[in-house]
Amino acid sequence: MLEWLLALSIVILGAVIWTASKYFGTQREPDAILQGLGISEQKYVSDRGVPLDVVDAQTPDRASEKKVPAVALICKPSALQLYRMHGVDLATSAILQTVYGACWPYESRVHFVRDHLQLSDDGLVALDWAVSVAGASYQKRRRTSSNSTSPILLIIPNSFGKITRNVLKLCEAALIHGYLPVVFNRRSHNATPLSTVKLQQFGDPGDLREAVRYVRYRQPVSRLYAVSESTGSGLLLSYLGECGSSSYVTAAACLSPVFRCQSWFENGPIWPLQWALVIYQKICLSRYRTVLGETVHTDTLFSSCSLRGLEEALFCHPQSPKAYWERNDPLRDVDEVAIPVLSVCAQDDPIRGDPQSTLPLELFESNPHFFLLLTTRGGHCGFNTPEGSAFSGGGTPGTGWSHRALLEFFRATTDFIAAEERVKQAARRRGLGGSSQGKSFRHRSVSTCKRLPACSHSIHTIYNWQRSYTR
């Protein structure tokens, strides 16, 4: 315990020193940062398809100042442009926001009911269903009912298995907005028993695929949405890419994702944060040291001082690191993603690193399914506003800005799909009632309607929407 407190003190000291050096010793103008990324003004697109110079401008005088927006949407112009973006006043310190969101204690009003899911290879993963304190028993009964139509929010935490206050607050916000949140825990994560010697690789979506099938079995008439946090986005993007139009997910969002994962593991974040992550991962793995010794060189594992060393010791024997990342790169099948995906990122993210080399802007500019909501500040999974932060003395923090953004994204996506379906149904009714095309046309329309599944959220409907959306 004393060693852990000492390590935490050193991490905080290093974070304060690094923040001070970044604050006083570097250029802080947001326009210089965006220009360094090579982003032109035309890459900011409003919900009306108009390029934006200043998103938070409220008067012509402010608009003429040509300041870079605090929030910018970067995407390929398409039928789904959801945001009339407004300026947002985010807390200043990226390091403080990051440490606050990951380590600061939080008395959550949400309780969890756990399901252990046995996989095809006898491994175990855990699904934690979030229920409110006041209605825990009611929510438990409702969760087990297959007649519930409440949308399901599948939450994938970071790849280290830590349930952060960011995840807990997201569960609270989802419950308030009528979702049924469920947290996916990988093998051995968050007190999940390790029943086999196999751990889940960084970008292997096999376990997640079985978990999604189970959720669909338990709630067959509910829409499914997915949210990932930090390095957990690697698993979500791998799943969406491998499954394509058969993912059963209506829309997805990634909070502070890490896209260039191999480079991130090789270079790592700044040393205080990397050291803290390495210590935390070693503590979690130490309880399985004996059983892991059957397949892993534990001496090499627990003597590693970097994230790269830990990952290679766990999974790169006997394969090479190059072969490992070819099979676990989250962007390996990104062209197969068939649903809208929102990524919320901050330019001052201390975990992800330099935005110029870590953000695949070409992906958002060329693929109509990917949207990047880029802020000048926010840290890593932080995005705390002064009025919603515990630092401001305002009491219990409210819903985080990033959580409001992704829930609005899901709502707008659902409305867009519903509008598309209404247009299609109206066209079918006109086709069935028309006489100019004769019996042959009516026969084709009837057969098309018969092929439509009963559930509006089925994968066939999502696939049909995807085809209409990309036109």
Sign, CA dihedral 290-291-297-300, equals: negative
- The tokens for 276 are 């803290």
d(Cα 331, Cα 34) in Å, to the nearest integer?
23
Taking alpha carbons only, the member of 15, 3, 66 closest to residue 40 is 66
d(Cα 376, Cα 39) in Å, to the nearest integer?
13
Say if strands 152-156 and 180-185 run parallel, antiparallel, or are unpaired: parallel
3-state SS class at 284: helix
Which residues on neighbouring strands pair with residue 73, listed in sequence order? 373
Which residues on neighbouring strands pair with residue 217, listed in sequence order? none
Q: Which amino acid is at 270?
A: I
Q: Which amino acid is at 157?
A: P
- Dihedral, CA atoms, 73, 75, 76, 77, nearest 10 degrees? -20
* CA angle 210–211–216, rounded 5-degree value: 100
91 contacts 390 by C-beta, under 8 angstroms = no
d(Cα 308, Cα 295) in Å, to the nearest integer?
18
Instruction: Return the DSSP state at 295.
Output: T
pLDDT at site 469:
36
Taking alpha carbons only, the member of 347, 334, 256, 258 closest to residue 72 is 347
Query: Each residue's pLDDT tens digit in the chain (471 positions)?
Result: 444 554 555 556 555 545 544 433 333 333 333 344 344 333 444 333 333 333 333 333 443 344 444 788 888 887 675 544 445 556 567 777 787 777 777 777 888 999 999 999 999 999 999 987 554 444 444 454 566 789 999 999 999 988 988 899 999 999 999 999 999 999 999 999 999 999 999 999 999 999 999 999 999 999 999 999 999 999 999 999 999 999 999 999 999 999 999 999 988 788 888 888 999 999 999 999 999 988 899 999 999 999 999 999 999 888 899 999 999 999 999 999 999 999 999 998 888 888 888 999 999 999 999 999 998 888 888 887 765 443 333 333 456 889 999 999 999 999 988 888 888 888 888 876 554 444 433 333 333 333 333 333 343 343 333 333 333
3-state SS class at 305: coil
Return the axis-axis angle of helices 271-286 and 307-315, rounded to nearest 10°: 30
Which stretch of DSSP H or E encloses residue 328?
helix 321-328
Task: Give Cα 410 distance to the centre of its chain.
Answer: 12
DSSP-H helix ranges across 434-469: 438-451, 459-469
pLDDT at site 8:
59
Taking alpha carbons only, the member of 183, 190, 184, 192 closest to residue 124 is 192
pLDDT at site 133:
54
d(Cα 360, Cα 229) in Å, to the nearest integer?
18
pLDDT at site 424:
87
What is Dmax (Cα atoms) for the chain?
83
3-state SS class at 230: helix
- Enumerate the active-site residues: 349, 380
Q: Which amino acid is at 166?
A: N
Phi-psi region of 163 (alpha: psi -120 to 50; beta: other; left: phi over 0): beta
376 contacts 88 by C-beta, under 8 angstroms = no
Q: Which amino acid is at 334?
A: V
d(Cα 260, Cα 354) in Å, to the nearest integer?
11
d(Cα 312, Cα 397) in Å, to the nearest integer?
39
Return the axis-axis angle of helices 94-103 and 165-176, rounded to nearest 10°: 80
* CA angle 243–128–400, rounded 5-degree value: 85
d(Cα 94, Cα 18) in Å, to the nearest integer?
10
Sign, CA dihedral 200-206-209-210, equals: negative
Backbone angles phi, psi at 378, to 5 degrees: 145, -20
pLDDT at site 36:
40
Which stretch of DSSP H or E encloses residue 148?
none
3-state SS class at 193: coil
For 153, 412, 459, 463, the CA distances from 250, given in Å and listed in that order, are 10, 12, 9, 10
